[in-house]
Amino acid sequence: MTLKRRYKRRYMVVLFHSSPEELLSTARERMLDMFGHVITQKAVLKTIDKIGPDLHVIRCRSEYLGEVLCSLTLIGSEHPAVVLDVSGTLRSLRTRARVKKMSLRLP
Amino acid sequence: MHVVQPVLRFKDLLGLKSIGIENGTGSYDSIDGEANVIHLLRRKPTAPTKFRYLVISENYHDLITKDADLVEITAIDQQFFEMLKRSSSKKLGIEIAVSWLRKTNGQKLAKNIALIKSIHNFTEKYGNQLVLTSGASSIFEMVSGRCFDALLELCDIKPETYWNSLNNWLEHKINMRCYICDT
């Protein structure tokens, strides 16, 4: 029997018309507002990658995926965020994101 | 149709089966029937149409009028629940837009989430239907299926139950109308 050392992660592709830093700060702000400091801290939100100018890849703890998705959906800033895809592995997410980027015809 | 195409492309990316597109008060003759698109009209067309549609209203006092299928809710008082009780036989859709929730701060949002839960319970009891929509004015405000599920779970509503009842309600409402079939 092996020991589970690391928590499970979920990766998301988010369409957001601004910098990844702004995406993360607005998402954290909304999450803080909705679920409090403890859940926000436990969710471990982090930006991973940027696919083109508007597609961002962010990561969170799988247990708090629901809370993160709610926060991203309800971001109240001038730039709304659209969650295009969620995956357990970065590789499959990147493959799917490339297809989505092509069908969105983003530069 | 050029305006609809990017929306349809985006719909597939978001994992949505069908979407509602709001139409202005202009002529309905130019609208083509498109699969998986439901047109949301402010007034009921006088003749049969090529496209599937629902009649929407912003004013919940329209709950007692005949034409409205879907009523958008942005402010609620006790009168609203009384109206819902009275209109139980019409199987009305009570629309709550995510764009409206986005505009509220944390405290109001918490209240609205509790309100959505109570509206859902109320609509279930009196035969109406809660309809959670994105309220998007552009493709960048649309909400994916996965996010809708997360919001429903936040409101203590089981996503499977909600989507099944919404599907049944839509079929019931759309099949009640007269359409022109291309044969």
A46 inside domain: yes
pTM of the shown model = 0.88
Count: domains in chain A:
1
Q: Pick from B13, B109, B153: which is nearest to A84 by CB?
A: B13
The full length of chain A comes to 107
Q: How far is CA B125 from the centre of its chain?
A: 19
B154 vs A: CB within 8 A: yes
* pLDDT, tens digit only, all 183 positions of chain B: 456 777 888 888 888 888 888 876 566 666 666 778 888 888 888 888 888 888 888 876 666 666 788 888 877 666 777 777 776 667 888 899 999 899 888 888 998 899 899 889 988 888 889 999 998 888 888 999 999 999 999 999 999 999 999 999 999 888 887 777 765
> Choosing among B96, B100, B140, B151, which should be mutated to test the A contact, i.e. which has the most A CBs within 10 A?
B140
**Contact residues, A window 48-67, toward B, CB-based 8 Å cutoff:** 65-67
> What would the pLDDT profile of A41-95 be if each residue is shown by its tens digit?
999 999 998 887 789 999 999 999 999 999 999 998 788 999 999 999 999 998 8
Count of C-beta atoms within a 10 Å radius of residue B63: 20
* Contact check, Cβ <8 Å, B9/A70: no
A3 inside domain: no
Contact B134, A80 (CB under 8 A): no
Residue-by-residue DSSP string for A31-86: HHHHHHHHHHHHH--EEEEEETTTEEEEEEEGGGHHHHHHHHHT--SSS--EEEEE
A107 inside domain: no
**Contact residues, A window 79-98, toward B, CB-based 8 Å cutoff:** 79-80, 82-84, 86
Nearest CA-CA partner of B57 in B19, B93, B21: B93
The reply to whether ipTM tops 0.85 is yes
| Domain extent for A94 | 9-102
CATH number, domain with residue A53 = 3.30.70.3250
* Contact check, Cβ <8 Å, A103/B143: no
Q: Pick from A17, A66, A75: which is nearest to B150 by CB?
A: A66
Domain boundaries, chain B: 55-175
Nearest CA-CA partner of B166 in B120, B135, B126: B120
Contacts of A42 (CB under 8 A, 6+ apart): A61, A63, A64
**Contact residues, B window 100-129, toward A, CB-based 8 Å cutoff:** 101-106, 109-110
User: Does B55-175 carry CATH code 1.10.510.10?
Assistant: no
pLDDT confidence of residue A107: 46
Contact B65, B43 (CB under 8 A): no
A83 inside domain: yes
- Beta bridge partners, B21, equal B39
CA B161 – CA B50 distance, rounded (Å): 31
